Amino acid sequence: MAGTEPLGRIRLGVNIDHVATVRNARGSAYPDPVRAAQLAEAAGADGITAHLREDRRHISDSDIDRLMEVLRVPLNFEMAPTDEMQAIALRHKPHAVCIVPEKREELTTEGGLDVARDENRLAHFIAPLRDAGCRVSMFVAADRAQVEAAQRIGAQVVELHAGAYCDSFSEGRFDESAAELERLRDMSAYGHSLGLEVHAGHGFTYDTVKPVAEFPEVMELNIGHFLIGEAIFVGLEAAIREMRRLMDEARA
């Protein structure tokens, strides 16, 4: 059971969605998110994350095909809990799937997927993905009811939504940010105690990554938007290497 495994190095998953956002802004063939994924691999990413949205606003079906072909590190396929996405995931059988909300009615007020409200359906939804060998993660708010529901439906992983912590910090609301950090700390420990592997993601920057990377129960961080933005100034490899360095420093 994951809850009794020794705690080790924290993994960095690089989310390349926003390379595709820039490409799609002009309807051109570049910049290519698959090339970015390969650069991220070379820079030390432990995995690549890509979210195929129902409206295909950034990543496309052919991006997923190509990622599955060329990646040497695991692909974490982010997807809404829909039949269409389930069929695509079952065709590709990526290393991991992360179930995320896309519609208002799937969201909790804090922004994660409302697993507690839709427990029965989601239990049936993830079962074939698990049976196909995908590691199933639920993207949830740092909320006890959501973490418990994720465990009950048979997910192996919870990814805690770090947006409330990161955004309040970036906007200078430091009391709120400190309170959100405590929620993440508590739910990391709680999720781990339930036997879940704990990840965190959404909104991390160089300024917000270390306090969460310090939590011994957190095994993986998924980071995209900031890294792609920073790549404009220093290049993608340098941005990833700096994020990796900060995570390792926090862990040490």
In the residue annotation, 95 being an active-site residue is answered as no
- Say if CB 201 and CB 180 are below 8 A apart: no
Distance CA 176, CA 186 (A): 15
x-marked contacts with ligand PXP along 83-122 as a string, rule CB under 6 A: ---------------x-x----------------------
CB of 56 to ligand PXP, least distance (A): 16
Go through the chain and tell me how many residues it has. 252
244 binds ligand PXP (CB under 6 A): no
The Cβ of residue 214 has, within 10 Å, a number of other Cβ atoms equal to 15
- Pairing state between β 47-51 and 75-79: parallel
204 binds ligand PXP (CB under 6 A): yes
CB of 130 to ligand PXP, least distance (A): 18
In the residue annotation, 192 being an active-site residue is answered as no
Of the pair 139, 169, the CB lying nearest ligand PXP is at 139
Q: Which of the stretches 32-40, 128-136, 190-198, 223-231 binds ligand PXP when contact is defined by CB under 6 A?
A: 223-231
Distance CA 50, CA 141 (A): 20
- Say if CB 100 and CB 125 are below 8 A apart: no
What type of residue is 233? F
Number of residues that bind ligand PXP (CB under 6 A): 16
Question: Residue from 53, 135, 152, 225 that binds ligand PXP (CB under 6 A)?
Answer: 225
215's tokens? 């939590």
Provide the annotated active-site residues. Answer: 51, 78, 202
